[in-house]
Structure 1
């Protein structure tokens, strides 16, 4: 093996390590809050609305700020954009540990913004750097995300009892800081691509590097029904997931379980989905038509949610079943971003659009369910609403999971082809 080949292999390993560390930090800032929500409410005097806003903010940020990721990556490069995302996560987590409700809400917004940008760039960089391993690496990333989220939920109360919730919150800034430093290294090693000046765009002008045909700009996705179906399905899946992450401990405590038991159930729900987070994307990439897989996942979800409504005394069983469903549905929605895209830039754009639309829809979930609980005095109605959500989820999912690719016209805006090319090339 030549020295050049060794450098290429080492560079790919550094990127792979960066993908792992990025994945670790895209869930704990969200899942580590729900188990200690009762203490936060008591300490700061939060009512149902204040608690619902706190649980809604991270998901709202995922929708509001996801659209920033593709233009940010085109402007400064993919690796520096990931550094910015991880820096925001680190700053937000650290700020949330301060003894102030303003710091709590502000830090939540900062961390949510960083997670939004990281969520969008993760599938794009996987598809570009490892195109023949997209399914495998997406599965690994989803597995790591689920595991880190489960660990954060499971350790929330033990850490709170050991070192207090302030330090328990701030502890998760350490892995995000480590990830940011690693991506600083990747950003420094990333090749720089100089745009061609307009005057030099003559017959003999050349690009800095050969550009694959499918790396050209991909168009106005808002005109694509398939793109809207992918976005809607991601939104519906995310709505269910974040409602459960935000409120499941409170639901179970209303059913008579202790705070420790309810936190353990939330952690188990996410842990049981870990292997499915790996298997489902891998299986989806090997299927021409993902609709049978989709219907199976949604059937399991219906069983889990229906069990919580009809037989809450068997909550452990239904939490396990729901964990299988949520651990399968979200990775399926994420892998569809790559499977319905003909190129890495398209994946980034579709990811940005789908996560913007999807998470804005999903943000309504925790807030709406919290308000419904406040209005009805029971969790039965919110759980029934989650069951009803299976209908549009099935319709959108069947359209998004059928064979096909997003096709759209070139964007008639000021964005140049070179800017879109930079997104694909900057992570080489």
Structure 2
């Protein structure tokens, strides 16, 4: 009932922000036109006329499905979200089994992993002003590794690993969106690429809690599940770095 109340509040705020008709029917809302530049007229005879708009249209016409960077970002997003959902679902149970925390304490301890996401989400944009995205992706991936590796070898230090992992998971989703914005050439391409990356990424990531739980049941320990999460985090790091290596 509490979550339902939040959904109702969000719906009411949305209706107030955009109007009832656009909110309900999806019509009538003003569309943001894409920036279209016409031909640049050059008076000097020695310099040819350049049509910037045609060049932009040609780049946008290339199918997103043919770009390796599109699938790389999708895999990176999937790895990020898979690890996040898998750990969010099972951290309380893991800490109860491995560290001996009570149910209430184990549940409350997982909040550290969630709260620290704010640090990563707000800190990454500041780093993006000074560092290339590929560097930030590598840094986020490295910090993310502390979480599964720490819970695997030293679960009693869960607070330390939650700090690193929490900040990394908040920064991971942020840097992927920054890469998307810097890769595209228009608002339309940004919307399409973002929808593709999120749609495919979340479709794979939604299996995280199920896979981690099933592997735990099959193996009878938390070793193999943490290896699964480790692989997902490595997917984020490797795919993200390869996809962002040419982004300025």
- How far 1:257 sits from its partner (Å)? 1.7
CA distance 1:244–1:286, shift in 2 (3 Å): same
Q: 1:277 aligns with which of 121, 130, 133?
A: 121
* Contact 2:80 2:233 (8 Å CA) reproduced: no
Which residues of structure 1 form unaligned runs of 5+? 1-166, 194-207, 406-428
Across the two proteins, how many residue pairs are aligned to each other? 224
* 1:315 pairs with 2:158: yes
- Deviation string for 1:307-347 (max 9, x for gaps)? 11111122222222211221211211222221211111111
* Contact 2:121 2:167 (8 Å CA) reproduced: no
* 1:394 pairs with 2:237: yes
Query: What is the rounded CA distance, in whole Å, between the counterparts of 1:399 and 1:340 in structure 2?
Result: 13
- Deviation string for 1:94-117 (max 9, x for gaps)? xxxxxxxxxxxxxxxxxxxxxxxx
Which residues of structure 2 form unaligned runs of 5+? 38-52
Q: 1:290 aligns with which of 133, 142, 149?
A: 133
- How far 1:189 sits from its partner (Å)? 7.8
- How far 1:395 sits from its partner (Å)? 2.1
* Contact 1:237 1:333 (8 Å CA) reproduced: no
CA distance 1:191–1:263, shift in 2 (3 Å): same
**TM-score relative to the length of structure 1:** 0.48
* 1:228 pairs with 2:90: no
Aligned match of 1:355: 198
Map of 1:27-426 to 2, 5 A cutoff?
167-185=1-19, 187=22, 190-191=29-30, 211-212=36-37, 213=53, 214=56, 217-255=60-98, 256-287=100-131, 289-404=132-247
- How far 1:215 sits from its partner (Å)? 7.5
* Contact 1:235 1:362 (8 Å CA) reproduced: yes
